[in-house]
Amino acid sequence: MSSLKNIQKKKWFSNFVLISFLFLVAATALLSNAFKTPVKNHNEFIEQSLVFNNKELENITNLTLKNKSGEFIFSRSSTDSSSTWHMTSPRDVSTSSAFVEKLFSSLNTIKTKKLLPDDAASRSNFSLDKPTAILTLADESGTSIVLSVGIMNTIDNSTYMKISGREGVFHVEAPSVSLENTTLHDLIESNVFDINFATISSFKIFKKNSSTPQFAVFKKAGVWVTSEEKSLDAKKLEEMLDDFTIVKSTFVMDQMTDAQKKQTQGMVSPPEYTLKIEMGENETLTYLISDLKKNISDTPASDEPQFIVIENHAPVVYVLKKEAFTLFELKNEALKPLEK
C-alpha cells in the first residue's frame, strides 16, 4: 500500500514539474514579445522622416519652376551663402531673396506622412500625371532632383509628390511656399532702390516742377559734400539714406499693357517728386514718384493709400504703401547736423 502511495507521489511531482516548466516557457515567451524592439518595414522608416536633408540641397545652383503661370529659371554663381539668386528667364532680373530662402527652408523641414504605391491609380488620383507644379533642382555638375507636385489636401494641409530617383508617391506636409500658385510678382526682388554707396556720385531729390533739388549730396574725391561743398559725416549720411535701401513694393509691373502705360504716365506728368542717382559720370538712375489716386487696371485692388515709383531707366513700375512717401520729403536743412 505504501509502495502505491509512493508511486502516486512521484507521478504527481513529475506532473507538477512539467506543468511548471511549460508555464515558465510560456511566460518567458510573452515577456520577450512584450519587450522586444519592433522591426520596422521600409515604409515605416520613411514615414514621419524628413523628405530632404540639408546636404542634399546645399550644392544647388540652378532652379527651374514650372506651373500654371509659366516657367521660371534661376541660377547663382556659387554655393557660397553670400551668392545671390538671379532670374534668367522669362526676365533677367534679381530674384526675391525672401522667396528662395522660404523655399529652401521649407524643403529642408517638410516630412513624409505616408509612402504610397506609384501606380496608375495613385498618379491619376493625386494629379501626378498632370502635376500642378514641377520643381527641378540642379547642382554645378548637372545632377538634378525633379519634384512633381500633385493636388493639395486642404483638410490636413498636405500634398503629394513624385521625386526623381525614389520609389513611390510621397504624401507630405505641404511646403510653406505655394509652388502651384507662385507668380512672377512673387519671384521678382521687391526692393525699389538698389543703392551701392561706394559707386554713386550724387543723390538728388526734386519737388514737382522745380529744377533746383530740395535735397542734394555729392561725392568728390571720396568725400560726401553738400551743394555748397561743405563736407558731411559719411557714416551719418549713409545711415540716413539707408532708409531708401529697405523700401519694398507691394506690387511690381515690369511688362505693362498700353492701358497701364497710359494710366501710370498720366500720374507722373508731372511727378510729385523726382529722384536722380548718378553713378560715376556716365549713368543716371531716374525715379518718378506720385500718389496712386486710383487702382491701375488689372492689378490687385487695395483700400490702403498707395503711391507709385516709376524706374525710368528700366522701365519698371513699383506700387508702394503710402507710409514710405515721407522719405522723399528730405530737405537740405537735414544736412546741417551732418556738416563737419
pLDDT of residue 26: 62
Q: Is the pLDDT of residue 54 over 80?
A: no
In terms of C-beta density within 10 A (0-12 exposed, 13-18 middle, 19 or more buried), how is residue 22 classed?
A: exposed
The SS3 call for residue 59 is coil
Domains of the chain with bracketed CATH: 54-187 (2.60.40), 200-338 (no CATH)
Q: Is the pLDDT of residue 87 over 90?
A: no
Q: How confident is the model at residue 184 (pLDDT cuts 50, 70, 90)?
A: confident
The sheet that has 223-225: what strands, in order across it? 223-225, 215-220, 200-207, 273-279, 283-292, 306-311, 316-321, 251-253
* Of 123, 104, 97, 100, the residue nearest 52 (C-alpha): 104
Whether 176 and 106 have beta carbons less than 8 Å apart is answered as yes
Q: How confident is the model at residue 38 (pLDDT cuts 50, 70, 90)?
A: very low
At 316, give phi and psi (nearest 5°): -140, 145
For residues 60 and 74, give the distance between their C-alpha atoms in angstroms, rounded to a whole number: 11
pLDDT of residue 279: 84
* Of 296, 297, 317, the residue nearest 252 (C-alpha): 317
pLDDT of residue 6: 54
Q: How confident is the model at residue 20 (pLDDT cuts 50, 70, 90)?
A: low
Q: Which three cell numbers stand for residue 198?
A: 561706394
Mean pLDDT of 156-171: 94
For residues 290 and 239, give the distance between their C-alpha atoms in angstroms, rounded to a whole number: 25
| Cα 83 off chain centre by | 15
pLDDT of residue 62: 94
90: cis peptide before it, omega within 30°?
A: yes
β-bridge partners, 62: 75, 138
Q: Is the pLDDT of residue 41 over 90?
A: no
Greater confidence, 289 or 26? Answer: 289
Residue 219's region, left for phi above 0, alpha for psi from -120 to 50, else beta, is: beta
Q: Which three cell numbers stand for residue 49?
A: 522622416
Residue-level length of the chain: 340
Q: How confident is the model at residue 317 (pLDDT cuts 50, 70, 90)?
A: confident
pLDDT of residue 46: 59
Q: Is the pLDDT of residue 101 over 90?
A: no
Whether 180 and 152 have beta carbons less than 8 Å apart is answered as yes
pLDDT of residue 65: 96
pLDDT of residue 35: 45
